Amino acid sequence: MRLLDDPTRLLRRRTVGWSYTGPEMAEFDEACPRITVELFPDGRGRRTEEPRGGGGGSYVTVPEVRDDERWTDRPVFGEWPLLSAQVHGLTEPPVFEITEAATAADGSGPAPATCRRPPRPAQPGPIGELFRPGVRVTDGYHPEMTVVEPRRIGTLRVPSGLLAVSGPDDDPGEGPHITVAVPPGEYVLDEAPARHHHPRTGKGSEAPRTDTTAVRVLVGESPAVTWEMARRPDDDPRLLPDNGIFGFDTDGATGCFADAGAWDPLLALFERGLIQGDPDLDPDAYEDISDSMYLLRTRDRASGGELAAFATTGDGTYPVWVGRSEAGEVIAVVVLVEDMPELLPDAEPTAGT
């Protein structure tokens, strides 16, 4: 449930129904069939059916719900029902007691009662460190990865002063998912390589490989001291679950940085070059990029704006991280092409771009 702008009612934000196949199945078993319904205040919604649980396929449809099913009255203080007990007709109130395990951190006695913490959106993690040579990280699959020198791929012209970050497989006319205001100019495009050995064979058995963890538009040279998740004007953090994200969506494992002022013509050039393979495309308007997570660059001759497309490791939603200086100026815009790596214990975070 979510309390939004109307203090008298709650949004039924997310409901999960579990269908256990028998008494031997553990509660919340990963293989348990389930149906998840997510509702939004603007009338949108998503119903996800997973007949084989989290490890199988899913069917996504639009739920048909009435307004009184989307919203419920907010109970007054002291009269909050235990919803699961109410649904199943249970009348006895639950009994809560402090067990021996629930002790204070210093071991001095029972832990103090605490209020429930609201869901916290995903945090940036060590983004700056992914571009600092020598830093050691892990992506969960490779036990140890060592960051090497950022690889410069080229530049991106943004004469409009509005940088777009989006999936280039969007419908024309809808505009980019994310925009970030930057000074009009030409900025470095680079990627963050990390060297590693195969986790099953280890060091000494094969030559190390280098994979890209992130791509970046470098706007300024001073250190980025803070990182924030970029949002659209109607993105409401109160609707996110724990570690939830906003970002751009892709159905083709592809994202792009572009000049938002020339978005439509740049997107049309991308379509003609990569998707249609148009042999008559002006070579000055289209450039393939090889041996990189970046795929291609298109140029709008009328405005001078450019688009640079890059590969991700899959479909889905990718957050856009904006690094800022102490003065609040944009220093870098970063997209991780996979999940956020973690610093290894001896790798201390440091300020930097």
Distance CA 179, CA 100 (A): 52
Q: 217: which strand partners?
A: 189, 333
Residue 320 near residue 229, CB atoms below 8 Å: yes
- At 25, give phi and psi (nearest 5°): -80, 125
Q: According to the model, what pLDDT value does residue 118 have? A: 73
Q: According to the model, what pLDDT value does residue 100 have? A: 46
3-state secondary structure labels for all residues of 209-275: EEEEEEEEEECCCCCCCEEEECCCCCCCHHHCCCCCCCCEEECCCEEEEEEHHHHHHHHHHHHHHHH
Q: According to the model, what pLDDT value does residue 278 have? A: 66
Give residue for tokens 């109130």. Answer: 93
Q: According to the model, what pLDDT value does residue 284 have? A: 78
Q: Which regions in the chain score pLDDT beneath 70?
A: 80-116, 170-173, 199-206, 274-281, 346-353
Q: According to the model, what pLDDT value does residue 174 have? A: 80
Residue 52 near residue 31, CB atoms below 8 Å: yes
Q: What angle do CA 82, 87, 89 make, to 5 degrees?
A: 95
Residue 146 near residue 129, CB atoms below 8 Å: no
Residue 301 near residue 86, CB atoms below 8 Å: no
The answer to pTM > 0.75 is yes
What distances in angstroms separate CA 72 from CA 1, 12, 13, 75, one per listed residue? 9, 7, 11, 9
Secondary structure class of 9 (helix, strand, coil): strand
Q: According to the model, what pLDDT value does residue 98 have? A: 43
Distance CA 76, CA 168 (A): 47
